[in-house]
Amino acid sequence: MVSKSEMTLRDMSAEFLGTMVLMLFGLGVNAQVTLGKVSVPLSQGDLGRSVEKITEFQYGDYLSINFGWGVAVMLAVYVAGGVTGAHINPAVTIAMACRRALPWSRVVPFIAAQMLGAFVASAIVYGVYYEQIQNVEAVEAAESKIFVGVDGTKHQVKSSDKASHHTMATAGIFGTYPRSFSNLVPETISNWTGLLDQIVGTAILLLVICAVGDVRNLAPQSNIGPMVVGALVLMIGLSFGSNCGYAINPARDLSPRLFTYVAGWGSQVFKDPNTLWYLVPVVGPIIGGILGVITYDQLISRFHDPETESELGSGDDLAGVK
């Protein structure tokens, strides 16, 4: 017989590994797209510096990120789904506890494992792409710094000069940040818009997850559930991703942000664009997740036939709903 401590360790291991797989692929595609951007000059100014530039993507674009995260979720659910239901997301864990589909005693171990898995994945991706991150930041510095000597001549920083610390140019590989309107209008979306974005996106996520795990509804047969959840995340990215990167998962944003804090980006990751933004992808998904399960239960689950429910069971054992 499995003891309670062994069961807790099993659950934590599954959530850790599932979240790590999710973040390895998700952050990996972020890194590949971000570091593969090149600026192609349309005209030249002094010292050959680009006056007008267009951006080309060598290794994917925004669609690559959407598809990458969707497939990453699918694979992560296959990794942990048979053990815990693959929450891989504190918002899912808290929502399921509020729904009484998960004992509150398992919430803290689940979330701790998810946060650790995301942190470890961030460190691995950072190690794999370390040299590219350094090179990209050096180029960014070279393009943005022109010094005028005492004799009036202009000097440009060499691209080989490495920055002593990381810059926000690469922080977006790991954390999510609000989108600026344009190069000419540097203001970003407001915290309130970002919060609404996260609430809506995560509410949709949990509402559909509840449907996927509901055998009294049209739940996917066999082990197709993870594919449906992956497609769901893809659609959230395609329809609600442009505001602030559709974190819809506190572990997906907070753990990588903490990693960047200790890895050389410093406190700027908690201050850009303001000192409250980092709370948006944490608080928003938690609120949205709870609203999502309440909506499904009040508008769908409550109308199920009790006799059918007793015959089939309550369901809720697929793709993050167990």
Residue range 194-218, pLDDT digits in tens: 999 999 999 999 999 999 999 889 8
> What is the C-alpha to C-alpha distance for residues 102 and 107, in angstroms, rounded to an integer?
8
> Using one digit for the tens of pLDDT, what is the confidence trace for 72-84?
999 999 999 999 9
> What is the C-alpha to C-alpha distance for residues 107 and 97, in angstroms, rounded to an integer?
7
Given a cut of 50, is residue 292 above it in pLDDT? yes
Q: Is residue 273 reached through a cis peptide bond, with omega within 30 degrees of 0 on the bond before it?
A: yes
SS3 labels along the chain: CCCHHHHHHHHHHHHHHHHHHHHHHHHHHHHHHHHCEEEEEEEECHHHCEEEEEEEECCCCHHHHHHHHHHHHHHHHHHHHHHHCCCCCHHHHHHHHHCCCCCHHHHHHHHHHHHHHHHHHHHHHHHHCHHHHHHHHHHHHHHHCEEECCCCCEEECCCCCCCCCCCHHHHCCCCCCCCECCCCCCCECCHHHHHHHHHHHHHHHHHHHHHHCCCCCCCCCCCCHHHHHHHHHHHHHHHHCCCCCCCCCHHHHHHHHHHHHHHHHHHHHHCCCCCCHHHHHHHHHHHHHHHHHHHHHHHCHHHCCHHHHHHHCCCCCCCCCC
Per-residue pLDDT at 198: 98
Mean of all residue pLDDT scores within the chain: 85
**Does some domain include residue 277?**
yes
- Of 305 and 84, the one with more pLDDT: 84
Given a cut of 60, is residue 154 above it in pLDDT? no
Per-residue pLDDT at 288: 98
Confidence of residue 184 (pLDDT cuts 50, 70, 90): low
**Mean pLDDT to the nearest integer, 139-158:** 51
Q: Is 62 left (phi over 0), alpha (psi -120 to 50) or beta?
A: alpha
Supply the range of the domain harboring residue 245. 4-312
Per-residue pLDDT at 2: 76
> What is the C-alpha to C-alpha distance for residues 322 and 160, in angstroms, rounded to an integer?
51
- Of 310 and 101, the one with more pLDDT: 101
Per-residue pLDDT at 185: 56
* Lowest-pLDDT range of 240-254, 264-278, 302-316: 302-316
Confidence of residue 248 (pLDDT cuts 50, 70, 90): very high
**Does some domain include residue 287?**
yes
**Does some domain include residue 61?**
yes
Per-residue pLDDT at 84: 94
**Does some domain include residue 24?**
yes
Per-residue pLDDT at 183: 54
Query: What is the amino acid identity at position 17?
Result: L
How many domains in the chain? 1
**Mean pLDDT to the nearest integer, 26-30:** 97
**Does some domain include residue 207?**
yes
**Does some domain include residue 113?**
yes
**Does some domain include residue 46?**
yes
> What is the C-alpha to C-alpha distance for residues 216 and 305, in angstroms, rounded to an integer?
9
Domain containing residue 64: CATH number:
1.20.1080.10
Could you tell me the pTM of the whole model?
Answer: 0.85
Given a cut of 80, is residue 220 above it in pLDDT? yes
**Does some domain include residue 317?**
no
